[in-house]
Structure 1
């Protein structure tokens, strides 16, 4: 079953007793990717265990923690922008390393370049036989790294003292690393794409920096980092007039829900002042993205710094994409900017 409307997507995301995230327990179909650590982490669990694990981890994502991390995020963003040129791959030189450094600091582990390779192999594997070797190698290497990496501070050190098993620690840390890095990286890329395509919006943002926050929310709405997710029915029932069976996969499209004309006027337009903006890009209910505040802060820092560094309009060149079962992934792009101050008149 495929769910597209804002109301029904929200219902599925918030009714966790009927629409479970626990694919291993409830899916009536074979699960070729069942050894993915994400499927054994709290994002794929129901209460009460989900609540127990989330409480352990959530203290690392408080506003106070994010505020404490902000100076390091600002310094990292500035250093990356110092080296960024119009010839650079924006993803390799900025969108990947900024969230990786932040997540590494939060986890209390070293900033490892292998995180990018592991994340890509794990998040793009959907059971295809040809992709399994790279997936299995990435999972093995990630588990070994998280088991053995020295950690004297941060989430990993805290989890080691909490009484969790080694596998539970690996699954939780792997979830935070993969989801935390991928979400922010994709949001940074989508921000660049939206503002390059909407020159008047970029000009308006330069004239009124107070629009930074609402601009990020509009990027989230129009181009969510994850276009959809799935749940698994714990019993037979009916949704939106359509029946479903126990163990059925329910695919919800946040991308479609975020453009529901019943909720969003001019749903395909890019409105940096849109308010209210009840998008579902970070989910809803018990599985609302734990790192949403941190992702927003990183992108706020990045956008603010980029507005100061790049005074003219932006263009995107050499865009490389890849189709996946859940949407289109951007693999590479170059951000080219003008040295002339943007004089476009917002419309």
Structure 2
């Protein structure tokens, strides 16, 4: 019997595809966003100790209380907003589950959800599963005069209709590395003052912001925080993507709905890892040095590529760098990404994969995404291969 698919346009993600190709060809993988080094030994010891001493049974559905309290304290320290650890914060199986549970809980048939392209590839399929309608608004792409993506708030405002239920934001932005500024929140406040919609703010890279700039979150504005679902991830912050520990913060009534989906999808999340992270956050201040750690890697990659035909764009945050490949010719970004993996031995991600139609002209700006969450030796080896193009 052939199953009736709910997602006819969805296959393996570009991340899985490029990582598999990199493994097949023994290429350097600067595609999928994960480190090739271990987390802090103090963190590993804290988790191992939790495994040895317990707890090792089911965690509370909402998360281990001491971790929820640590998340609350962290958000107060970095963003100034105070959530209730009992009613507003839920520990999830990575940011992926937090996003999925939030969309499934809060989007109803016929609701419109505004996505800002290029957008992370999870959003649109989950909106479709919720029987919502993705409404895509493109950022203005880089040009020679303005070599960075930038938001078009007029276009976002024009996309809002009476059916708009949610606007999904993702800053620091994957894949562009763009961050929000206070003037962006001014524009968002102005739009939301006249319309009743929710904000889903994906802030997985909140602690990776460069050049002395602060992370700007919608939760820093009370009027926005009251309608905002904040999602983040310890996977990115603690160099442990395989642990899949994230969290979701929202005012009580919204959290209550999200938890209804969360409890019947995963129920609870790995207990000793939650306990280990909570213990680690009490005594370690590694988060404070994370931006500087990744800025050094960003600068190393940018400097190395200056001798290549790839033109780096400025990355304001995340551990991704976009490069303009126009000097290598024009065509589909995916074709070039495959070619670079085959011929240069370096896997990347085409930015076109973050659009609704990756093969369309409007999705192909001759840009590839490189991940610099790698050991310096890995980055240097990749630079050497890319410079030889």
Task: Identify the structure with the greater helix proportion.
Answer: 1
TM-score (norm 1): 0.30
TM-score (norm 2): 0.27
